[in-house]
Amino acid sequence: MCSSCFGMILKMRINMNKRALKVYIETSVISGYGRQRFHHDLMRFFDMIRAGDFIPIISAHTLTELNRDKTPIEVTNNLTTIQYIVYQTTDEMNKLAEKYMERKIIVESYKDDALHIAIATVLKVDILVSWNLTHIVNEITIPLFNKVNIENGYQIIDIKKPEEIM
């Protein structure tokens, strides 16, 4: 782990009564800020992060998506209210995303979604949180992702909507 990432972990308040879960935060959760239907759940989720219930993990890929999509400033400002760990995307992650697409779980035009799942899988997070119900939090695709993961020596990935882990 990079030394700056380790420093971020040390600064976080971790709830000592239980192990904080490592949670990969997919772009749709961050960009959900300001959308009325997500507002209450997102505020509660971020409060739980600040309380030390979760160790938030995002990827450089997530930050790229937020920049590319011209995310409103209030959304990115909300992200600054928590301490999180950022990981770079690796060749291993890209190759796993390619395997998902080879199996046609996700089509090439939605490679970003496959990459989020691959990143979370390779990082061995406890949970990936997303509001992308079409490609990511989907009862049909989750077992397919996990089948590919097992076949390639990875653990299964738990994928949930934020409200399902609160």
pLDDT of residue 34: 67
How high is the mean pLDDT of the chain?
87
Q: Is residue 49 part of a domain?
A: yes
Mean pLDDT within 116-141:
96
Mean pLDDT within 138-158:
97
Higher pLDDT, 4 or 33: 33
Give residue-wise pLDDT tens across range 145-154: 999 999 999 9
Q: Sort 74 into a burial class: Cβ within 10 Å, 0-12 / 13-18 / 19+.
A: exposed
Out of 11-25, 72-86, 119-133, which region has the weakest mean confidence (pLDDT)?
11-25
Q: Is residue 5 part of a domain?
A: no
Q: Is residue 32 part of a domain?
A: yes
pLDDT above 60 for 79: yes
pLDDT above 70 for 2: no
Instruction: Grade residue 14 by pLDDT with cuts at 50, 70 and 90.
Output: very low
Q: Is residue 7 part of a domain?
A: no
CATH number at residue 113: 3.40.50.1010
pLDDT of residue 7: 37
Q: Is residue 75 part of a domain?
A: yes
pLDDT of residue 105: 97
Q: Is residue 140 part of a domain?
A: yes
| Domain span including residue 159 | 18-164
Give residue-wise pLDDT tens across range 15-74: 445 689 999 999 999 887 767 677 788 888 989 999 999 999 999 999 999 888 777 777
pLDDT above 90 for 80: no
As a whole number of angstroms, the distance between CA 71 and CA 101 comes to: 27
Give just the sign of the alpha carbon dihedral 35, 31, 24, 50. negative
Q: Alpha carbon of 129 to those of 10, 16, 85, 102, 144: distances in Å?
A: 23, 23, 15, 24, 17
Q: Is residue 73 part of a domain?
A: yes
Mean pLDDT within 67-93:
87
Q: Is residue 153 part of a domain?
A: yes
As a whole number of angstroms, the distance between CA 46 and CA 157 comes to: 22
Q: Which of 8, 32, 20 is nearest to 165 (CA)?
A: 20
Domain tally, the chain: 1
pLDDT above 90 for 1: no
